[in-house]
Amino acid sequence: MRIAMLSPIAWRTPPRHYGPWEYVVSILTEGLVERGIDVTLFATGDSITKGKLVSKCPRGYEEDEEIIPKVWECLHISECFERGDEFDIIHNHFDYLPLTYTAMTNTPVLTTIHGFSSPKILPVYKKYNGNTFYVSISDTDRSPELDYIATVHHGIDLNRFTFREEEGEYLLFFGRIHHDKGAREAIEIARRVYMKLVIAGIIQDREYFERNIQPFLDKEKIEYVGPAGPEKRNVLLGGAYALLHPINFDEPFGLSVIEAMACGTPVVAFKRGSMSEVIRDGRTGFIVSSIEEAVEKLFKVKELDRYECRKWVEEKFSADRMVDDYIRIYEEILNR
């Protein structure tokens, strides 16, 4: 089986700190290679893989302002599809744009839809519905206007996350600094329970950060520690009392949620998007509807079994399970 894995080029694959789509692509690619599958990864030139790397773009455009995104996206995607007949399947993780290249090859194209940035992108997906294959990353992140071959929840490399039996003394917000992710709400929750809050993640909306986050930073009660790569992420997640995830949008999945639970850290999240699929409410965390309810539930976090959080991720969200799911989908597509 020969797979062309088309990764985004915003960040390196795997990313140094932020880059959730590239992160999932890397886990899947390396897992497939370990199973003996021939994988060619189309990604940035500085990407790291045990598969075959093909690149047109030297670095991620979010890491080099000299790189014009649309120019290099065109070169990147066309390189994959011009070589499409060399492969049995093209697995697209690049959102909707590569769908417009599918007429260049007879090779079946599978697209993992990592979320809908806007309903306005649906016309592209609808045009190619039935001619290509779609995977959703949660059941709640499906459009009723599209057909899907399966839902595949993300999986993580559990060896990168250390289980911590003892609860921490601080709350953690881990994600991009943007209204969607609820960093301001996390501050309000932490202040109400008189606990320290550590904020980690890239600043995606500078104005939001300066208006809603920066005025509260004091390093004693509210601390911003910047983006966090793999080692720092493991320490931060494992050392927390709880991860706060007070999202203001319908989260397609939520990698930080399963990463926290892999370390044994429970999650308190707003009831939006995929949270009911990712968190076992009342066992690995709490799903709440308001700041007030989050405050109430935080006092009950200490009653949760941190080992059960880890076990939940081992059973439901391992890299091996994700790789198995995709291999079955590849086989189904080829058998058709």
Radius of gyration of the chain (CA): 20
Same domain as 108, residue 68: yes
**Contact (Cβ atoms closer than 8 angstroms) between residue 109 and residue 88:** no
- Answer yes or no: is pLDDT of 157 > 90: yes
What angle separates helix 255-262 from helix 306-316, to the nearest 10 degrees?
A: 120
What 3 state SS string does 291-307 have? Answer: HHHHHHHHCCHHHCCHH
pLDDT, tens digit (0-9, with 9 covering 90-100), for 310-334? 999 999 999 999 999 999 999 999 9
**Contact (Cβ atoms closer than 8 angstroms) between residue 6 and residue 77:** yes
Same domain as 327, residue 287: no
Integer Cα distance of 118 and 124 in angstroms: 12
Which residue intervals of the chain are DSSP H helices? 20-34, 69-82, 122-127, 183-193, 206-208, 230-238, 255-262, 275-278, 291-298, 306-316, 319-335
**Considering the chain, what percentage of its residues have pLDDT values greater than 90?**
96
Same domain as 12, residue 134: yes
Same domain as 311, residue 162: yes
Q: What is the pTM of this model?
A: 0.94
Same domain as 101, residue 176: no
pLDDT, tens digit (0-9, with 9 covering 90-100), for 191-203? 999 999 999 999 9
Same domain as 250, residue 165: yes
Same domain as 288, residue 170: yes
Same domain as 167, residue 150: no
Domain CATH for 174: 3.40.50.2000
Same domain as 213, residue 229: yes
Domain of residue 26: give its range.
Answer: 2-155+318-335
Count of domains in the chain?
2
Residue 64, both tokens: 């080099």
Strand locations in 1-159, DSSP E? 2-6, 38-42, 52-54, 89-92, 109-113, 133-136, 150-151
The phi and psi torsions of 52 (rounded to 5 degrees) equal -90, 130
Same domain as 41, residue 68: yes
Q: Which single residue is written with the structure tokens 């009392």? A: 241
